[in-house]
Structure 1
Amino acid sequence: MARLLRTVGREFVDSAPIRLVFAAEVSAPPDVVYRALADDVPSWPSWFTAVTQATPTEDGAGREVRLRGGVRFRETIVAAEPDTCYAYRADESNAPGLRALLEEWRLAPEGSGTRVQWTFAADGTGLFRLVLSLARAGVGRSFRDAVRRLDARLAATTP
C-alpha cells in the first residue's frame, strides 16, 4: 500500500541521514544528457533497467515511476536546470520503511562529454537504513550500468 512521504526540499540532498553518491562520465554533452533525463522520461526503462516504467505527470512537473520488484513512486520535480541539474522528490511510495527521498542528477562538462553525479538522499526506519547501507555496492553498480547504457543509447541517437 502506498503512503505519503515527508516533504523535503533540495537541501535534503546535503542533510539526509542516508546519502549515496555516485559519478560516471558519458561522451554526450550536458544538454543531450539533460534532455534524456528530464525531457525523455518514458525512455528511462531502456537504459536504467531497475526502472520498469516512468511516466511524466502534471504537465512535466511530476513523474510516476515503477521499479523492478513492484516498488512505486509518485514524484515532484524540484529542480529542472537545463544542462546542470535534474532533481525530484518522492511524495508517495510503497517502499517499506521509506520516510523521505530526494534524488539529484548533477551534470558538468568533462572534456568533450559530461560528468554525471547521482545523489540518492533518503530517510527511513532503522531497518531501511541498514538494508540501504548493505545495498550500497549494488546500487552503485546499477547506477554505473545505467549510465553506460545511457551513454551507448545517446551515442547511437546523437548525430
Structure 2
Amino acid sequence: MARRLRPVGLDFTESAPLRLVFAAEVAAPPDAVYRALAEDVASWPYWFTAVTRATPTGAGAGREVRLRGGTVFRETIVAAEPDVRYAYRVDESNAPGLRALLEEWRLTPSATGTHVQWTFAADGTAPFRFILGLARAGVGRSFRDAVRRLGDRLAGAAA
C-alpha cells in the first residue's frame, strides 16, 4: 500500500539526512540527455534497468515509476530546466521506511558531451538509512550503467 511522504523542496538535496551523489559522462549533448530524462519518460526502462515502467502523469507535471522488486513512486516534477536540471519529489511510495525523497539530475556540457550528476536525497527510518547506506556502491553502479546505456541509446538515435 502506498504511503504519503513528506513534501520537500529542491533545498533537500543539500539538507537530506541521506545523500547519494554520483556522476558520469555521456557522449551526447545536454539537450539530448535532457529530452531523454524529462520528455521521453516511457523510455527509462530501456536504459535504466532498475525501472520497469515510467509513465507521465498530470499532463507531464508528474510521473509514476515502478522499480524491479515492486517499489512504486508517484512523483511531482519540481524542476524542469531544459539542458540544465531535472528534479522530482516522491509524493507516495510503498517503499518501507521511506519518509521523503527527492532526486535531481544536473547536466553540464563537457568536452566529450555531458557531465551528468545525480543526487538521491532521502529521509527514512534508521533501518532504511542504514540499508541504503550499505547499498551505496550498488546504487552507484546502477547509475553509471544507466548513463552508459543512455549514451548508447542516444548514439543509436543520432546515427
TM class, shorter-length? over 0.9
1:32 & 1:66 partners in 2: Cα distance?
A: 24
Contact between 2:85 and 2:105, CA under 8 Å: does it hold in 1? Answer: yes
1:70 Cα offset (Å): 0.1
Could you list the runs of 4 or more consecutive aligned residues of structure 1 that deviate by over 6 angstroms after TM superposition? Answer: none
Partner of 1:5: 5
Asked whether 1:148 is paired with 2:148, we answer yes
Separation (CA, whole Å) in 2 of partners of 1:144 and 1:55: 23
For these two proteins, the number of residue pairs brought into alignment is 159
Whole-angstrom CA distance in 1 between matches of 2:112 and 2:26: 9
Measured in 2, the distance between the counterparts of 1:158 and 1:140 equals 27
2:83 counterpart SS class: coil
- Give the Å deviation of 1:122: 0.1
CA distance in 2, matches of 1:137, 1:27: 23
Asked if residue 100 in structure 1 is aligned to residue 74 in structure 2, the reply is: no
- Residue 67 of structure 1: aligned partner: 67
Q: TM-score, normalising length from structure 1?
A: 0.99
SS of residue matched to 1:106: strand
Residue type of the alignment partner of 1:156: G
Q: Which secondary structure state, in structure 2, belongs to the residue aligned with residue 88 of structure 1?
A: strand
Match of 1:22 in 2: 22
Give CA-to-partner distance per residue, 1:57-96, whole Å, 9 cap, x none: 0000000000000000000000000000000000000000
After TM superposition, list the pairs within 5 Å mapping 1:69-148 onto structure 2.
Answer: 69-148=69-148
User: So what's the TM-score if we normalise by structure 2?
Assistant: 0.99
Q: Does the 8 Å CA contact 2:25/2:112 hold for their aligned counterparts?
A: no
- For residues 130 and 112 of structure 1, the distance between their equivalents in structure 2, rounded to whole angstroms, comes to 36
**Is 2:45 the partner of 1:45?**
yes
Contact 2:26 2:112 in 1 (8 A): no
CA-based RMSD: 0.5
Unaligned runs of 5+ in 1: none
Structure 2's unaligned 5+ residue stretches are none
Aligned residues of 2:55 and 2:63 also touching (Cα < 8 A): yes
